[in-house]
Amino acid sequence: MELQQLTANMFHIKFESFTRIENFKEAGYFYYNMEPEKNYLLPTPLSIAPFLPGFIARKMALNNLKNWLEQQFDRQCGRVRYDIAQRMEKTFKEYYNYLEGKIAETAGVIMESVREAVELKKSGEDRIKGRLEKLGALLQRLNEIEGNIRELKNHLERVA
């Protein structure tokens, strides 16, 4: 945690934990449709059942009901799958855009910090060059003073 805070302060990045739960989007195109499909021109087993004997009509009705329930179940499952797929895609796109924005923001802040570090290094190098030049000038002045002192000493030794 300490390293994260130090890094966040160094790069001027707001520290956020990435642990979060993203819910599916609320809006979906999901709907139930329990009405049977209308076939006005085609006869169905149920439309001809009243004209058949009871044991045959009952068997046809049960088979028809079983087939109809399987079709309805499959239709509703398809609608649920489609709705979930649509919401997942929308959620993933938004989360992708969110992460892409965070990454771009973090990269920008890091690049700015690197530029600042380069500028500080350059200004430090310039300051060091200036101080080295001053020290070189002082050293040259000291050498001149030392030479003058030796000359004066030699002159005094000859005079005395």
pTM: 0.47
Domain ranges of the chain: 27-159
User: If you average pLDDT over residues 6-17, what whole number do you get?
Assistant: 66
| Confidence category of residue 47, pLDDT binned at 50, 70, 90 | low
Q: How much is the pLDDT for 78?
A: 86
Residues 112-129: tens digit of each pLDDT:
888 988 998 888 888 899
Q: Is 74 exposed, middle or buried (0-12, 13-18, 19+ CB in 10 A)?
A: exposed
Given a cut of 90, whether residue 27 has pLDDT beyond it is no
Whether residue 57 has pLDDT greater than 80: no
Taking CA atoms, 67 is separated from 37, 49, 72, 150, in Å, by 13, 16, 9, 121
What's the rounded mean pLDDT across residues 89-105?
Answer: 89
Tell me the one-letter amino acid at 103: I
User: Which residue has better confidence, 144 or 3?
Assistant: 144
Section 15-38 average pLDDT:
59
Sign for the pseudo-dihedral over CA of 78, 84, 86, 88: negative
In which band, very low, low, confident or very high, does the pLDDT at 87 lie, cut at 50, 70 and 90? confident
Is the model's pLDDT at 50 over the cut of 90? no
What does the longest C-alpha to C-alpha distance in the chain come to? 156
> For residue 49, what pLDDT is reported?
64
pLDDT at 84: 86
pLDDT at 12 (0 to 100)? 66
Helix, strand, or coil (residue 31)? coil
Residue 34 has pLDDT above 70, yes or no: no
Q: Is the pLDDT at 43 greater than 90, yes or no?
A: no
